[in-house]
Amino acid sequence: MPMDPALLAAGREAVLVALAVSAPPLAAAILVGIVTGALQAVTQIQDHALGAVPRLLAVLAIVGLSAPWTAARVGRFGQACIEAAFRVAP
C-alpha cells in the first residue's frame, strides 16, 4: 500500500516542528549545565542542587520567553494540518 505524499510531508513537518520547538530549552539546559559543571569543578563543590536549580530556572525562562514563537509555530502547523485534512478526498 503506497503512502500518500501529503501524509509523509505532514509527518516530516511534525518532526521538524517538534525539533524546532524543543531546541531552545534543550540548548539552555546544556549551556547552563556546562557552566555550572565547570564552576563546580573549579570550586570543588559537588552539590546536586547547584547543577539542577540553575538548569531548571534557565529552561523555565527560555520556555517563557519563547512561548509566543512556539505557540505561533505549532498553531501554523495545526492550521496547515486541518486545511490539508479538508483537501484529502475520502
The three-class DSSP label of residue 37 is: helix
Between CA 44 and CA 52 the distance in angstroms is 16
pLDDT in tens, 9-34: 888 999 999 999 999 999 999 999 99
With cell 539546559, the residue in question is 29
- The pTM of the full predicted model, rounded to 2 decimals, is 0.79
Q: How many residues in the chain?
A: 90
Q: Which of 32-36, 48-52, 61-65, 86-90 has the lowest mean pLDDT?
A: 86-90
Between CA 46 and CA 24 the distance in angstroms is 27
CB of 28 closer than 8 Å to CB of 59: yes
Mean per-residue pLDDT, 59-77: 96
